[in-house]
């Protein structure tokens, strides 16, 4: 078989805010094939953007908050299989390559519609997130959170985007 493996490049934001001494994290609740699920503000990298730019865009689209990535939390690979009648062998098999960032939350764009499928945003403590693992869209939600809480921060310059990416083709 001469099929080239192509993981789907995604970006995610780990966003923390202090609520009167209580650390909470911004998540989105979204409609999926498996019902309502929780996830980081996240999505696919679009053509012509760096991972940090994609993370800022996805966060705005899914939460209506501006977001400026300041550090890379980690790079993750995760495989997802789902029943899909039209797929070979009846299974859709996708590997995701996720770039997770933390950073500064900016202004909320009051009245901005959230991306299709996003039901609402929600602020949860780390313990609340751990307690609802059955609601996580991906195991990477918790892994990114735990890495963030462990202090994992890498300079944005660790991920280089060549200027050819932004050139029109």
Q: Domain with 102 in it: what CATH number? A: 3.90.79.10
Residue 130, domain member (yes or no): yes
Q: Work out the percent of the chain whose per-residue pLDDT is above 90.
A: 82
Q: Tell me, what's the pLDDT at 34?
A: 86
Q: What is the pLDDT along the chain (169 residues), one digit of tens a residue?
A: 567 888 899 999 999 999 999 999 999 999 998 899 999 999 999 999 999 999 999 999 999 999 999 999 999 999 887 766 676 777 778 889 999 999 999 999 999 999 999 999 999 999 999 999 999 999 999 999 999 999 999 999 999 999 999 876 5
Burial class (CB in 10 A: 0-12, 13-18, 19+), 27: buried
Residue 164, domain member (yes or no): no
Phi-psi region of 64 (alpha: psi -120 to 50; beta: other; left: phi over 0): left
Is 0.85 topped by the overall pTM?
yes
Residue 166, domain member (yes or no): no
Residue 162, domain member (yes or no): no
Distance (Å, whole) CA 115 – CA 165: 25
Q: Do β-strands 8-14 and 91-108 pair in parallel, antiparallel, or remain unpaired?
A: parallel
Q: Containing domain of residue 16, as a range?
A: 8-156
Q: How many domains does the chain have?
A: 1
Three-class SS of residue 154?
Answer: strand
Q: What mean pLDDT is reported for the chain?
A: 93
Residue 168, domain member (yes or no): no
Residue 152, domain member (yes or no): yes
């Amino acid at each position: 078989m001469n099929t080239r493996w192509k993981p789907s490049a995604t970006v995610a934001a780990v966003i923390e805010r202090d609520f009167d001494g209580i650390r909470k994290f911004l998540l989105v609740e979204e409609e999926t094939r498996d019902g309502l699920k929780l996830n980081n503000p996240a999505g696919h990298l679009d053509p012509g953007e760096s991972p940090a730019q994609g993370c800022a865009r996805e966060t705005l689209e899914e939460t209506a908050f501006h977001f400026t990535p300041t550090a890379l939390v980690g790079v993750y690979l995760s495989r997802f299989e789902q029943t899909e009648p039209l797929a070979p062998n009846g299974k859709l098999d996708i590997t995701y390559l996720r770039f997770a960032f933390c950073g500064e939350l900016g202004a909320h764009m009051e009245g901005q519609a959230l991306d299709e499928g996003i039901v609402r945003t929600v602020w949860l403590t780390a313990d609340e997130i751990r307690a609802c693992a059955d609601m996580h869209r991906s195991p990477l939600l918790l892994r990114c959170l735990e890495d963030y809480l462990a202090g994992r921060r890498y300079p944005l310059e660790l991920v280089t985007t060549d200027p050819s990416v932004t050139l029109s083709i």
